[in-house]
Amino acid sequence: MNPLEGIRVLEVAMYGFVPSAGAVLAEWGADVIKVEHAVTGDPQRGLRQTGMLRVEGDPNPNIEHANRGKRSIGLDMSVPEGKEVLHELARRSDVFLTSFLPDARQKFGIDVDDIRAVNPNIIYARGSALGPRGSESDKGGYDMTAFWCRAGTAATITPMGYEGMINPPGPAFGDTISGTNLAGGIAAALLKRERSGEPSVVDVSLLGSGVWSMGHTVALTNHLGQLLQAPPAGVHGSPINPLVGVYPTADGRHISLVMMQPGKYWADVCKHIDRPDLIDDPRFADAERIAANTAEAVEILKKVIATRTLAEWSERFATLAGPWAPVQDTLQVAADPQIRANEYIVRAGELDLAANPVQFDVTAPQTGPAPGFAEQTDEILLELGLDWDRIIELKTAGAVT
């Protein structure tokens, strides 16, 4: 049994952030009904160009990632018949999940009080750009603006001397992280309601998630009154530890070493790179002297690691005691046997998708493809007890698609 089996989520949301929360809840077993505009659907369906990458035809990963495993109904909330259907769905739901801004929620009559008037026990979950309070709470935004730029990541990750700003590594980076946060908040609210009988209003913003993601750095820099700045490109990772940094291999790949206790791991690294002479080298006799001679150690390691390919080092480092990893792109990630062994990438219809990172009972989530636009409208209306005559009337009136 999945942990959220029997829970129904009514999702009135668009784009990537809040729908990704619905995707996580669906993978945890919830029945997630995605309400889409009766004519245009979720605008995310039209996203074909992402950076230099363009998708032609279907399936479209730009819609599939955040909408896997859901059901879709086309609904016009602006007409009385459509609002009646929405209210019937809300009565039968445990969670109302929305990305709509305050003005839009009021316009369509889907704010907290409106939905609670229909279902007093429903958990009301909102995803926003900048949070529910403050002078900018009514403003929209994207993960690029609220999560990446405003919350400090862009400025912190951009190297000194770099012209411009480092962009996010891919589409929906902050959306997906924030959506997972929102799903966790909803799960906690469900537990609270079960124990106390009290439903909650759950808020997660892109800005808040961005600040939380940078939380360690925010605490450190504010305590010291200093900024943490990324070094110029190509500079070794740690100025006091040669075993924390990235080293190029003979085939143009890179290896990341992160051994925070150099004195503990130095001898083992020397054995694995066929340089046992360095074990007793007085320059590297203990952690203090390793720190003092980091620049020399880095140059030695660079020269040695550059003599073999990543595949050769991977074989040699299989018994290395300290943490290390190959630097991988997303195509290499998808082929990584450790990732596949843990089913961190799962099949959803015709696509391989990254699974949400939470597994229950050492089992990967079961998921399915994103629904087509309004694909389950008839099915959902029949479940509400409507007969075909009424369904045809609603379609004729343009209330549903």
Residue 185 lies in a domain: yes
237, 324 in Cβ contact below 8 A?
Answer: no
pTM over 0.85: yes
Count of domains observed in the chain: 2
Residue 347 lies in a domain: no
Domain limit, last residue, from 328, 361, 381: 328
C-alpha torsion sign, points 344, 369, 175, 3: negative
Residue 182 lies in a domain: yes
pLDDT for 298:
97
pLDDT for 237:
86
Shared-domain flag, residues 274 and 205: no
The average pLDDT across 272-293 equals: 97
pLDDT for 236:
80
The average pLDDT across 92-121 equals: 98
- The domain of 254 spans 244-328
pLDDT band at 124 (very low <50, low <70, confident <90, very high): very high
Residue 333 lies in a domain: no
43, 128 in Cβ contact below 8 A?
Answer: no
Give strand pairing partners of 97: 11, 125
Q: What Cα–Cα distance (Å) separates residue 252 from each residue in 129, 185, 239? A: 40, 43, 24
Residue 42 lies in a domain: yes
Instruction: Report how far Cα 112 is from the mean position of its chain's Cα atoms.
Output: 26
Shared-domain flag, residues 108 and 26: yes
Q: What does the pLDDT look like over 2-16, one tens digit per residue?
A: 999 999 999 999 999
The average pLDDT across 371-390 equals: 98
The average pLDDT across 99-110 equals: 98
CATH code at position 269: 3.30.1540.10
* Percent of the chain clearing pLDDT 70 (strictly above): 100
pLDDT band at 233 (very low <50, low <70, confident <90, very high): confident
Shared-domain flag, residues 28 and 113: yes
pLDDT band at 342 (very low <50, low <70, confident <90, very high): very high
pLDDT for 276:
97
Residues in the chain: 401
Q: What does the pLDDT look like over 310-321, one tens digit per residue?
A: 999 999 999 999
